[in-house]
Amino acid sequence: MNDPLSIRRLYGRSRGRPLRVGQSALVEELLPALSVPEEGPLDSAILFGDDRPLHFEIGFGGGEHLAWRADLLPDHGFIGAEPFLNGVAAALGHIRDRHLANVRLHMGDALEVLERLPDASLRFVYLLHPDPWPKARHAKRRMVNHGPLDLIAAKLQRGGEFRLGTDDPVYCRWAMMVMGQRGDFEWLAESAKDFLTRPGGWPETRYEAKARREGREVWYFRYRRC
């Protein structure tokens, strides 16, 4: 079955309501300075000018988690990919307000950027509340499929961590099934409490808070690269 690694197509909207004047200015002025180069190989030195641990967030939404983690770990480098213009604009606001110099952004397909990074170069990969594509015929569009996971596994250091968060029960079951088939990730959970309680160092996003307000459970998965 094809999956996002071979489909090479982004589904859904690329923009929502019109940007405010301040957001448009951020996209025009700040985004070019922080954007991942469009072509060529990537590494810590190219992106940040030195050798530092790297983190990658696939689909960062409004950027709250990305900015929070980057603020927490200023000597680490953070790469975020998000195809949605309004999300990129929101993330730029967080970066500006927190004066973050350790974040680089890509407005587009995360997999294209991941492929250009050296193998075993990432300390963390984050996939928080991805589109669940709940219909069975759309399962091939889910980011938790073996093609993307092969790529994530290749780019993570041994001992590095893949974090997945979801509030969708279909995606939760799917992720547990797919991840359970893999021998290159160790699930860091010893009891149900370990994936029903948000771990330390994992901030709440607006999307997660909305899910809680609407009565949906949230699951937090942590996997160590073997």
Specify whether the CB–CB gap between 166 and 175 falls below 8 A: yes
Q: 222: Cβ–Cβ under 8 A, 6 or more apart, which residues? A: 161, 162, 163, 187, 188, 189, 194, 195, 199
Quick check: is 131 catalytic? yes
Q: 125: Cβ–Cβ under 8 A, 6 or more apart, which residues? A: 55, 56, 57, 58, 152, 155, 156, 160, 161, 162, 163
Q: 3-state DSSP helix/strand/coil percent for the chain, to nearest 5? A: 40, 20, 40
Q: Measured over all CA atoms, what is the biggest interatomic distance in the chain, rounded to whole angstroms?
A: 49
Residue 70's identity, in one-letter code, is A
Spatial distance between the Cα atoms of 43 and 74, rounded to a whole number of angstroms: 17
- Which is catalytic among the residues 131, 150, 184, 194? 131
Specify whether the CB–CB gap between 151 and 116 falls below 8 A: no
Residues carrying an active site annotation:
131
